[in-house]
Amino acid sequence: MDLVASLRLALAESFAFYFKAHSFHWNVRGPLFQQFHDLFGGLYEDVHGAVDDLAERIRTLDALAPASLEEIMSGATILFSPVPPAMEMVMQLIAANDILIAAFTAANDVAIADGQDGIANFLQERLDVHAKWGWKLKATLADDTAV
Ligand SMILES: [Fe+2]
């Protein structure tokens, strides 16, 4: 897969992740509503910013950014479901975050191979951000009596 295709896949997974987190921000219910509403809000705002950055990196490579919802979602593997319970939302976001990390890692490998240091740097920063989101989501599920 070339760099543009790798970035388009990272964009598709990011857009799917963004929408999932935003939908969960709207639809979460339960006694911890405010905590989850805020966590999912931070997630969708962060990933929405990355969607813009990814599309603009594609333009710097003289390729066109997606022009339709079908196109921006093309190739995305993050799954959608009817509104789940809050903790299931967190589990779905952990799985989606792992998919995003895999897509960004693959794109970073191609960027390095192509000598595109600026794009590689951006992708590595996103990998660091998603490692932190993974920690926060997993910590939400963890039993606080465990070590
Ligand atoms: Fe909101």
How far does the centroid of ligand 1 lie from the alpha carbon of residue 34, in Å?
Answer: 11
Residue 146 counted as domain residue: no
Rounded Cα distance, 32 and 123, in Å: 33
pLDDT value at residue 135: 96
Does residue 147 fall inside a structural domain? no
> Cα of 73 to ligand 1 centre, how many Å?
23
User: Can you give the CATH number for the domain in which 82 is found?
Assistant: 1.20.1260.10
Q: Which residues contact 112 (CB under 8 A, 6 or more apart)?
A: 120
Residue 76 within a domain: yes
> Residue 36 Cα, ligand 1 centroid: separation in angstroms?
12
Ligand 1: centre distance to CA 25 (Å) = 7
Q: Is residue 93 part of a domain?
A: yes
Q: How far is the CA of 117 from the centre of ligand 1 (A)?
A: 35
Question: Total structural domains in the chain?
Answer: 1
In a domain, residue 45? The reply is yes
Which pLDDT band holds residue 142 (cuts at 50, 70, 90)? Answer: confident
Domain range holding 127?
Answer: 3-141
From ligand 1's centre to the CA of 27, what distance in Å?
10
Asked if the structure places residue 129 within a domain, the reply is: yes
Does residue 70 lie in a domain region?
A: yes
Residues 12/74, Cβ–Cβ less than 8 Å: yes
> Is residue 101 a part of any domain in this protein?
yes
pLDDT tens column, 48-94: 999 999 999 999 999 999 999 999 999 999 999 999 999 999 999 99
Query: How remote is the CA of residue 116 from the centroid of ligand 1, in Å?
Result: 36
